Amino acid sequence: MSNTSYAIKKYFKTTTLHGFKYLLSKYNADRIFWVISCILSASCAGLLCSALWDRFVHLPALLALQDTPDEFREFQPIPKVVICQPVFATARNFLNVYAPDNVNIQRLSFTFSRALRGLPTNTTEVNIMEHLLRTNRYSLVQLLFAFTPACTSLITKCKWQNVLVPPEQVFAKKLTNEGVCCVADPSR
């Protein structure tokens, strides 16, 4: 037996890292149990990642704020919170309604998003978007407000100082640098 294989065997027998000692166990039941445990753990991790990805795809804005101790709550105003749907999703909502069948909605949505951010875009696609806006009598701002979902569909629960508050009492649509977003308004 070479020094390397001896070192590996010794490492597997003495380590507590992730149950490697079970690989060299003289009992088959230990090995089988370890393999099954690893497969189940990996499957659970995969399911969790899949569920989180699915939630992100349907609602790409995720937000969590840390609670503050009770003694500071009465002095703390509502923080400035802004939740935005990506502009390409707003453009896609518009195009799903108004675009003709021969238009690539996905591509035109990303072109619209790039144009709003001041990035280089395909002139032909920008012209198509401008034509659709003019034909359907929308200004850019009107499109953003009309096809950005209501704040209540982007924000399902709102909790302030351990009290559930209806999102429509705290959030309102406002025009920002990122498009139309749901902005927490402390005066509401």
Looking at residue 161, its pLDDT comes to 74
Looking at residue 38, its pLDDT comes to 83
Residue 13 carries which side chain, given as an amino acid letter? K
54 contact partners, CB below 8 Å, separation of at least 6: none
Looking at residue 52, its pLDDT comes to 81
Structure confidence by residue, pLDDT tens digits, 127-157: 888 888 899 999 888 999 999 988 888 888 8
Looking at residue 72, its pLDDT comes to 44
Looking at residue 104, its pLDDT comes to 86
pTM: 0.55
> Tokens for 178?
């990122």
Sign of CA dihedral 30, 33, 39, 41: negative
- Rounded CA-CA distance 77/86 in Å is 27
Residues of the chain with pLDDT under 50: 62, 64-68, 72-73, 75
